[in-house]
Amino acid sequence: MRRGKFITLEGPEGSGKSTHARTLVARMTQAGFSVIAAREPGGTRLGEAIRKLLQQDAADEPLGSEAELFLFMASRAQLVQQVILPALAKGIHVVCDRFADSTSAYQGYGRGVDLDRILMINDLAVQGLMPDVTLLLDIPVAIGFERLQVRNADANAQKDRIEREALGFHERVRDGYLDLARRWPDRIRRIDTSGVFSEVNEELWRVVKRVIDG
């Protein structure tokens, strides 16, 4: 049996990543592919509990960068072992909303944790698993934040702990992603997501079909 393809979606805040991931999975299913959706942090019972821990600081105890890094890694390790590897082995494709590049971008470029160490710890967490393709949904920080504001207003939601970081942090994250795309040009496909949703999703679909057929 052919192993499933592992497809990850990445990007800064407000890139529309999660909506694109959902639409992509629906299209793949409609086209007759076996596919599951996953997200990080989360996707397992442990992961969803970690996600809650990561969303807000305890009032008197800010989360340190290293503790934050290991929480993301723990969620990832569980997701890889419990969900992603078993699905791929059964020939099921996996579309994951964020994966290892998020840690490089946010904790590495954003927080300043050493990138080589992050890559090493990550390799342990994912048991060597790498995405077949990573769709980097790129958007200028200012536009991403405008979208985020609209989304939060519609959902009557507040910014979470990471969304509340200064603009400089989010600029480093975006630049970090662009750096990662230059470092791994064969794996990471940058897609400008400031345009019309349906056209952007069409482009994602074309890239994914090529990976699945290839």
- Rule CB under 6 A: which residues touch ligand TMP? 40-41, 72, 98, 102-103, 106-107, 162
- For the sheet containing 93-97, what is the strand order? 35-39, 93-97, 6-10, 133-138, 188-192
Distance CA 132, CA 212 (A): 9
Least distance to ligand TMP from the beta carbon of 21, Å? Answer: 10
Q: What are 99's two structure tokens?
A: 């994966």
Q: In this structure, what are the phi and psi dihedrals at residue 189, rounded to the nearest 5 degrees?
A: -105, 115
Label residue 128 exposed, middle or buried (CB < 10 Å: 0-12, 13-18, 19+): exposed
Q: Would you say 78 or 103 has its CB closer to ligand TMP?
A: 103
Min CB(4)–ligand TMP separation in Å = 21
CB of 72 to ligand TMP, least distance (A): 4
- The nearest distance, CB 32 to ligand TMP, in angstroms, is 28
Residue nearest to ligand TMP (CB): 106
Which CB, 102 or 212, lies closer to ligand TMP? 102
Distance of CA 30 to the CA centre of its chain: 23
Nearer to ligand TMP, 30 or 156 (CB): 156
Nearer to ligand TMP, 34 or 55 (CB): 55
Which one-letter DSSP state was computed for residue 195?
S
